[in-house]
Amino acid sequence: MSFTDKLNYYSKRKSFKYGIPFLIMMVAGSFGLQQFSNLRYQYSKKQPVTPEEMKKYGVSMKKRQEVTLETEYDKIQSVDIDNWENKRGPRPWEEEGLAAPAKH
């Protein structure tokens, strides 16, 4: 069987007619999109904002401090979760001020 006979034999198969071009388009498309995504990240601004710059625009920032699991746990421990009051939120179909206060 010669090369042209093999090519004619395989070219009549659906996997060759539809599968191979599909796989080629998927691989070529992923490489093409990779170039566009590289451009996106290459030209995006990634500069940290300093508190002095933010004050210039009228925004105050808190000072950075170290956050550890222990400090966050201590903050949660200081919250009193045993004494709370259920407050009913307003409903869209009710007029303002008509919502009855929650009863204990």
How big is the chain, counted in residues?
104
Residue pointed to by tokens 């710059």: 53
The three-class DSSP label of residue 42 is helix
Cα–Cα distance between 10 and 4 in angstroms, integer? Answer: 10
The per-residue pLDDT string of the chain (104 residues; one tens digit each, 9 = 90 and over) reads 788 888 888 888 888 888 888 999 999 999 989 988 888 888 877 788 888 888 899 988 878 888 899 999 999 999 888 888 888 888 888 887 665 665 55
pTM comes to 0.36
Q: Which distant-in-sequence residues (6+ apart) come within 8 Å of 60 by Cβ?
A: 51, 54
Exposure b/e, 13-29, CB count within 10 A at least 16 = b: eeeeeeeeeeeeeeeee
In angstroms, rounded to a whole number, what is the distance separating the alpha carbons of residues 29 and 21?
12
